[in-house]
Amino acid sequence: MWEKVYLAFVVAMIGGTILSIREVDAQSTVDDSASCESSTMDETLNLIRDYLKDAKAAFNALSQRQNAAFSALTEQQNNMSAIFKKELEELKAANCSSDSST
C-alpha cells in the first residue's frame, strides 16, 4: 500500500515540476534567436533533479517513520503479550492454590 502512495507522490512531484517550468513553455521557433538554449535545458534538468532529490528525501523520511511506527507497535504488542502471560500465570497459580486448599 505504501508503495502506491510513494509512487503517486513521486509522479505528482515530477508532474508539478514539469508544469511549473516556464522557460520551456510554448517558446516561439519562428525567431532566429536561440529560444531554447542549452542553459535553459540544463536549468530545467537541474530543477527536475532537485525535485527528485526532495522526493527521495521525503520518501526516506516517510519510510523511517513507518519503520519507527512498526517497531513501536511490535514492542507494544510484545509488552502486552508479556503482561498477559504474567497475569495468566498468576491466575493459574491462584487457581491451583485455591483448588489445593479445598
Q: For 52-70, give the secondary structure using H, E and C.
A: HHHHHHHHHHHHHHHHHHH
Q: What is the mean pLDDT of residues 72-95?
A: 92
Question: What is the total count of domains within the chain?
Answer: 1
Residue 40 lies in a domain: no
Residues with Cβ within 8 Å of residue 40, at least 6 apart in sequence: 23, 24
Residue 49 lies in a domain: no
Residue 24 lies in a domain: no
For the segment 16-53, what is each residue's pLDDT rounded down to a tens digit? 676 666 555 555 555 555 555 567 888 888 999 999 99
pLDDT on residue 8:
77
pLDDT on residue 14:
76
Residue-number span of the structural domain to which 100 is assigned: 73-102
Q: What is the mean pLDDT of the chain?
A: 79
Residue 30 lies in a domain: no
- Confidence class for position 2, pLDDT limits 50, 70, 90: low
Q: pTM of this prediction?
A: 0.45
Question: CA of 85: how far to CAs of 71, 80, 91, 96, 97, in Å?
Answer: 21, 8, 10, 16, 18
